[in-house]
């Protein structure tokens, strides 16, 4: 029996340092070879398109009050599915790292790529790119299908109207940022169930806790909550009073994601695997 | 070549590895021996940078693992049987790892062949038996055709055929000039393949010796090993005194 079927000179002559590119290739191969990835993309697609049809088909513009008509925003309403979509991508981000800890894969991964911040950066880039492509494609599909489902009596949104293209682009980008926050939480917490609980706490539970604090506090703190930033700023074509501008909300969400990833990378480097 | 100098690892009040120094030489199989809890696995984890030592340092081929340019091409490690995602196929697992160190794809098929996993390559690794999982771990360790190999208890849970396969593999790897470090708590198993021995107990070096030297110390190799490791076992029979009252 021989183990040296590959001539050592052959492999070692070409031996070059591993780096971001080779690590990202590994992460891409990993992401596409587990069943959770297509399952999550399926749930994301169904949630985005399904809820858009459900909501827009049931808008009764002709029976709306004048006040309701004034705030009627068919673009924003068509992205109700982001409530589910953010959770789907958040879970994808969490699983991209916690599944490695739960299975023991992380030991194989870190033996291949000992520079841990580089590993997390590659994971963020690959998962982020996959989610961004899927997110933007689905955002445009959702917009087109949703507007087609909207009754003929109601005013329809078109991409040419002011703010609409921005809203659609943000509808694709928002869940990606939640996915990256999920990846950061996963690197910090390492356990799948605990990391998903933390994510759900952050995106669903904290906004609910704010409700009994009264309208003023709810609005003042709530405008910094991801989902409220999405629905009141990022995908809103008609500005919602008291909310952040889309640019500020987007910048803030990027900061949240960077903070989560930064903390995750720092802890990943410090702790034993 | 592996050089450990004054390695220390503490977990809270417990000192798992206590000022451990040793050399592992190429062209031979070195057995890393000690009772359960002696610090063997912790030491191996420190060698490949999974755990950070609280003191001392360890170098592989003259470098810290963290500084290796292409780790899989220099060190192959089997530290636990199931270091893979259960939903991924054996081939996908190896292909992803190979990509990280720019190892050509054909090498994946080669290591699948070497480990006899060719026919199982398309199956999800989570469905593998312990023996097959162990083979997949060895395939991953061989991916980069490394000069240094670390295997933590590689025969655990294997059937006699699997054990014989591992023994031959280790001997061949050493004969090809590689540095091979194999941990075990069974001296009789290690003596089948190893010439050099590093014996540890409670995280300390008890002896760096050879199988021949150790067996010359007592009536049998096992006896010599037991007298060497006496008092350093995690659970020693003498600690469990009989508490019942004779009536």
pLDDT at B217: 86
Q: Are residues B98 and B130 in the same domain?
A: yes
| Among the partner residues A2, A107, A272, nearest to B83 by beta-carbon distance | A107
Domain termination residue (choose one: B146, B163, B188): B146
Stated as kind and residue range, the H or E segment containing A248 is helix A246-270
pLDDT at A15: 58
Stated as kind and residue range, the H or E segment containing B229 is helix B221-229
pLDDT at B241: 45
Domain ranges of chain A: 19-268
pLDDT at B227: 87
Across residues B2-17, what is the average pLDDT? 95
- Could B73 and A16 be called an inter-chain contact, meaning their C-beta atoms sit closer than 8 Å? no
3-state SS, residue B176: coil
**ipTM attached to this prediction:** 0.91
Across residues A152-162, what is the average pLDDT? 95
Across residues A179-191, what is the average pLDDT? 98
Q: How far is CA A122 from CA A127, A173, A229, in A?
A: 8, 19, 27
**Is residue B113 one of the residues assigned to a domain?**
yes
Rounded Cα gap, residues A170 and A158, in angstroms: 15
β-bridge partners, B76:
B149
Q: Are residues B57 and B105 in the same domain?
A: no
Among chain B residues, the shortest Cα distance to A115 is held by: B66
What range defines the domain where residue B171 resides? 2-61+147-232
Q: Cβ(A161)–Cβ(A237) under 8 Å?
A: yes
CA distance A31 to chain B (A): 10
**Is residue B102 one of the residues assigned to a domain?**
yes
Q: Where are the alpha helices (DSSP H) in B101-175?
A: 106-114, 130-142, 160-175
Q: Are residues B129 and B167 in the same domain?
A: no
Residues of chain B in contact with residue A114, where contact means CB-CB under 8 angstroms, are 48-49, 65-66, 68, 71
**Is residue B77 one of the residues assigned to a domain?**
no
> Is B73's Cβ below 8 Å from some Cβ in A?
yes
Among chain A residues, the shortest Cα distance to B137 is held by: A108
pLDDT at A16: 76
Across residues A3-26, what is the average pLDDT? 69
Q: Are residues B208 and B179 in the same domain?
A: yes
Residue B240 pLDDT class (50, 70, 90 cuts): very low
Q: Are residues B110 and B49 in the same domain?
A: no
pLDDT at B235: 55
Q: Are residues B152 and B46 in the same domain?
A: yes
> Is B20's Cβ below 8 Å from some Cβ in A?
no
| Among the partner residues A22, A99, A272, nearest to B85 by beta-carbon distance | A99
pLDDT at B150: 97
pLDDT in tens, B189-236: 899 999 999 999 999 999 999 999 998 888 888 888 888 888 776 555
Could you say which residues from 129 to 158 on chain B have a Cβ atom under 8 Å away from some Cβ of chain A? 140, 142, 144-145
Q: How many A-B residue pairs are in contact by the CB < 8 A criterion?
A: 129
Q: What is the largest CA-CA distance in chain A?
A: 84
pLDDT in tens, B133-149: 999 999 999 999 999 99
Q: Which residues of B164-201 are buried (b: 16+ CB within 10 A; e: fewer)?
A: ebbbebbbebbebebbbbbbbbebebbbbbbbbbbbbb
| Among the partner residues A11, A18, A105, nearest to B145 by beta-carbon distance | A11
3-state SS, residue A113: coil
Residues of chain B in contact with residue A23, where contact means CB-CB under 8 angstroms, are 100
β-bridge partners, A222:
none
> Is B119's Cβ below 8 Å from some Cβ in A?
no
Q: Are residues B26 and B137 in the same domain?
A: no
pLDDT in tens, B151-182: 999 988 788 999 999 999 999 999 999 999 99
Residues of chain B in contact with residue A38, where contact means CB-CB under 8 angstroms, are none
Q: What is the pTM of this model?
A: 0.92
Residue A170 pLDDT class (50, 70, 90 cuts): very high
Residues of chain A in contact with residue B66, where contact means CB-CB under 8 angstroms, are 114-115
| Among the partner residues B65, B80, B100, nearest to A23 by beta-carbon distance | B100
Q: Are residues B178 and B137 in the same domain?
A: no
3-state SS, residue B233: coil
CA end-to-end distance (rounded Å), chain B: 61
pLDDT in tens, A47-99: 999 999 999 999 999 999 999 999 999 999 999 999 999 999 999 999 999 99
Q: Cβ(A235)–Cβ(A167) under 8 Å?
A: yes
Percent of all residues in chain B with a pLDDT value above 70, rounded to a whole number: 94
**Is residue B68 one of the residues assigned to a domain?**
no
pLDDT at A5: 44
pLDDT in tens, A211-253: 888 888 888 899 999 999 999 999 999 989 889 999 999 999 9
Among chain A residues, the shortest Cα distance to B146 is held by: A8
Domain termination residue (choose one: B130, B146, B162): B146
Q: Are residues B91 and B157 in the same domain?
A: no
3-state SS, residue A101: helix
pLDDT at A172: 98
pLDDT in tens, B185-195: 888 889 999 99
Domain termination residue (choose one: B129, B146, B163): B146
Q: Cβ(B31)–Cβ(B44) under 8 Å?
A: no
Tally the domains of chain B: 2
pLDDT at B233: 67
Q: Are residues B54 and B159 in the same domain?
A: yes
CA distance B238 to chain A (A): 34
Residue A138 or A1, more confident? A138
Q: Are residues B25 and B134 in the same domain?
A: no
| Among the partner residues B69, B144, B176, nearest to A4 by beta-carbon distance | B176
Q: Are residues B55 and B155 in the same domain?
A: yes
């Amino acid at each position: 029996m021989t183990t040296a079927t590959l001539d050592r000179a052959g492999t070692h002559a070409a031996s070059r340092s591993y780096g971001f590119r080779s690590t990202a290739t590994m992460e891409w191969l990993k992401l596409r070879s587990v069943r959770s990835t297509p399952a999550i993309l399926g749930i994301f697609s169904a949630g985005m398109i399904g809820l858009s049809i459900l909501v827009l088909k049931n808008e009764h513009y002709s029976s709306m009050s004048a006040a309701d008509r004034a705030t009627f925003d068919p673009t924003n309403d068509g992205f109700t599915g982001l409530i589910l979509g953010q959770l789907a991508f958040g879970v994808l981000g969490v699983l991209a790292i916690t599944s490695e800890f739960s299975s023991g894969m992380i030991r194989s991964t870190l033996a291949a790529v000992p520079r841990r911040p580089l590993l997390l950066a590659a994971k963020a880039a690959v998962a982020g790119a996959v989610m961004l492509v899927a997110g933007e494609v689905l955002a445009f599909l959702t917009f087109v299908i949703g507007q087609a489902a909207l009754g003929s009596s109601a005013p329809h949104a078109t991409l040419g109207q002011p703010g609409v293209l921005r809203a659609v682009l943000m509808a694709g980008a928002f869940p990606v940022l939640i996915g990256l926050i999920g990846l950061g939480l996963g690197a910090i917490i390492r356990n799948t169930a605990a990391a998903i609980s933390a994510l759900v706490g952050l995106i669903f539970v904290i906004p609910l806790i704010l409700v009994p604090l009264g309208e003023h506090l709810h609005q003042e703190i709530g405008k910094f909550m991801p989902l409220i930033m999405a629905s009141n700023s990022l995908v809103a074509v008609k500005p919602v009073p008291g909310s952040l501008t889309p640019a500020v909300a987007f910048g803030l969400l990027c900061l949240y994601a960077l903070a989560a990833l930064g903390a995750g990378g720092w802890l990943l480097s410090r702790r034993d695997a | 070549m592996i050089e450990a100098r004054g390695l220390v690892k503490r977990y809270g009040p417990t000192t798992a590895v206590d000022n451990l120094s040793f050399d592992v030489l190429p062209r031979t199989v070195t057995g890393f021996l000690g009772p359960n809890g002696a610090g063997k696995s912790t030491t191996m984890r420190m060698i490949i940078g999974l755990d950070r030592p609280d003191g001392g340092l360890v170098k592989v081929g003259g470098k810290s693992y963290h500084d290796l340019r292409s780790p899989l091409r220099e060190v192959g490690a089997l530290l636990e049987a199931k270091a893979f995602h259960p939903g991924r196929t054996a081939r996908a697992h190896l292909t992803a790892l190979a990509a990280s160190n720019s190892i050509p794809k054909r090498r994946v098929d080669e290591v699948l062949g070497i480990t006899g996993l060719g026919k199982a390559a398309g199956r999800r690794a989570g469905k593998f038996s312990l023996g097959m999982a162990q083979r997949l771990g060895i395939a991953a360790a061989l991916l980069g055709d490394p000069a240094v190999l670390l295997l933590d208890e590689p025969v655990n849970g294997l059937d006699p055929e699997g054990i014989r396969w591992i023994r031959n593999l280790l001997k061949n790897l050493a004969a090809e000039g590689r540095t091979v470090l194999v941990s075990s708590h069974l001296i009789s198993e290690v003596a089948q393949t190893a010439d050099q021995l590093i014996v540890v107990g409670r995280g300390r070096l008890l002896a760096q010796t050879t199988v021949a030297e150790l067996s010359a110390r007592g009536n049998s190799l096992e006896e010599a090993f037991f007298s060497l490791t006496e008092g350093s076992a995690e659970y020693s029979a003498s600690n469990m005194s009989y508490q019942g009252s004779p009536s």
